[in-house]
Homo-oligomer: A and B are copies of this chain.
Amino acid sequence: MNNLFIKNTFLNGQNVDVLIKNNRFEKIEKNINLSSEESATIDVLDGKDTAILPTYFNGHTHAAMTCLRGYADDMELFKWLNEYIWPYEAKMTDEDIYLASQTAINEMIRTGTTFFSDMYWSPAETMKVIRQAGLRACVGLTFLDVTGEKTIQQLYDFAREQKELQTADSLIQFSLAPHAIYTVCEKNLIESKELARKLGMKYHIHVSETAQEVADCKMNHGGLTPVQYLDELGVLDENTICAHMVHLSDKDIEIVRDRKVVSVHNPCSNMKLSSGAMRVQDMIDAGCRVILGTDGASSNNNLCMREEMKFAALMAKLQYGPESVSAQTVFDMATRAGAMAFGIDAGRIEVGALADAQLVDLNNVLLQPMHNLISNMVYSADSSVVKHVICNGKLIY
């Protein structure tokens, strides 16, 4: 039973107690009196001088790439991939992936994240760490054509096995994750989507990350952009998670809106690799579903959603003006919208919702003065404000 009682924390301008029962927020009120039975069985957390806030939902990352943090920076994309990242990855063992996932998940929890949508090799290794740490994830079962037909079929078998093992209370869900349109052929793009639909899993893919990708796609697919090409293949729907989405045309934005596709904004990675700036305000205005992700630590170089929020807001202001993408907008993208995109009834501190929360230290200088807590969290805070993290009703930090 994931029960917890938080005494005297701060929410929406007032002091409250928070009772979590069976992994959901049961009561959020001033001065809750526990029954003697409850008092005997429920752990109490002192919330004095803290505020309770939703945790972050990281829509796109490669957790195990944390072992590549700082390994290769400040260089052109293909030099970076061909001379540094891919040769390093070719030598990585399952144990490397396990250890790197530990570092990544440790960092994510410390920075207030309780869910991440991953895309990497050896998913079973990352899953071990996720279970040990007690956070949520959508584990991406990744492949490229060069992975080989046999390995792809084994990955599909792994997906079917995991579907069988799945229980209602599992914190882990899955995506089939073809890398991109330029590394996976039509047949494999379609087949993997069909399997994802059959198993009720997500479909996770990099789309329109660079201008080059769009130009190549147009040349190879009769003038279609990556979004239009994927739409023609019939793989775009509300369970499709498209990372980056930097170079979209007006027509692409309409398609993405109409298909209810989830677009993941990765501003740090897109800036650091000079990929470009997502048309985030245009997409929001059109009614697209936009969430936030950090990408991997090799192109960011951290997994901190707080920092990602600030980059998302400030990059939008440089593009569109100071009123675009407010602190509240970007905070919602990182919390509530992220949870909804993955069908998780969390991302908000409300009675009935799944109990994921961070308690932040109101005495931390980065949160002072407190004219506006959400503004402070987005524009000023860093990981030093995160005092406790709760996932699914359990204190995990």
Binding site for B on A (CB under 8 A): 66-71, 73-77, 80, 103, 106-107, 110, 268, 270-274, 276-277, 297, 300-302, 304, 307, 310-311, 313-315, 317-318, 320-327, 365-366, 368-373, 375-376, 379-380, 382-384
Contacts and interface: CB of A to CB of B under 8 A. Distances in A.
Contacts of A302: 366, 379-380, 382
Contacts of A67: 369
A327 B75 CA distance: 11
B315 A271 contact: yes
Contacts of A71: 371-372
30 contacts: A66-B368, A67-B369, A68-B371, A69-B371, A69-B376, A70-B370, A70-B372, A70-B379, A75-B322, A76-B322, A103-B365, A268-B310, A272-B317, A272-B379, A273-B317, A274-B320, A274-B322, A276-B318, A300-B379, A301-B375, A301-B376, A302-B366, A304-B366, A304-B382, A307-B307, A311-B311, A311-B314, A315-B318, A366-B383, A382-B382
A318 B371 contact: no
Given A74-B323, A311-B314, 5 more contacts: A69-B371, A70-B376, A75-B322, A272-B317, A272-B322
Nearest to A328: B74
Contacts of A366: 107, 302, 304, 383
Contacts of A69: 368-369, 371, 375-376, 380
A273 B370 CA distance: 21
A366 B300 CA distance: 12
A375 to B, nearest CB: 4
Which of A74, A80, A106 is packed against the most chain B CB atoms within 10 Å?
A74
B379 A382 contact: no
A77 B302 CA distance: 31
Nearest to A301: B379
A66 B373 CA distance: 14
A365 B276 contact: no
Which of A270, A311, A366 is packed against the most chain B CB atoms within 10 Å?
A366
A271 to B, nearest CB: 4
Which of A274, A311, A324 is packed against the most chain B CB atoms within 10 Å?
A274
Which of A297, A301, A304, A327 is packed against the most chain B CB atoms within 10 Å?
A301
A318 B278 CA distance: 12
Question: Which 7 pairs show the lowest CB-CB distances between chains A and B?
Answer: A382-B382, A70-B375, A301-B379, A271-B314, A74-B326, A70-B372, A302-B380
Contacts of A273: 317, 322
B307 A110 contact: no
Contacts of A310: 268, 307
Nearest to A276: B318
